[in-house]
Amino acid sequence: MKIIRKLYTNLVMSDLFKQNTTFVRRKEVVFTYLDNEIMLLHPETGKYYSFNKAGAYIWELLSIPITFEEIIASLLIKFEIEKSKCESDTQNFIQSLLEKNMIEKIQ
């Protein structure tokens, strides 16, 4: 069962992160900057979240519609990180934001 779940997850994630897939943050999510972090409040759930410097940077990028590839390219310029790790970490982060209804897929 774990193997089937993992294959399904990989299939969904690969479909979700195609080159032209575009994401944008939801306008109702309230946020503020604190030092090198960002604090967010989702008004529908009442839950607070905080992101580190990389997460805050991705949140800034999501202020306008942006593709997954554009996010990766920008992160590789801004931070010293291997491309494969950047893609993997960013996929997980974007997936988490989608599940929490903090961003939306628009294309």
- Three-state secondary structure string covering 37-65: EEEEEECCCCEEEEECHHHHHHHHHCCCC
Please write the tens of the pLDDT for every residue from 6-52.
Answer: 444 444 445 667 668 899 999 999 999 887 789 999 999 999 999 99
pLDDT, one tens digit per residue, over 51-67 is 999 999 999 999 999 99
pTM: 0.82
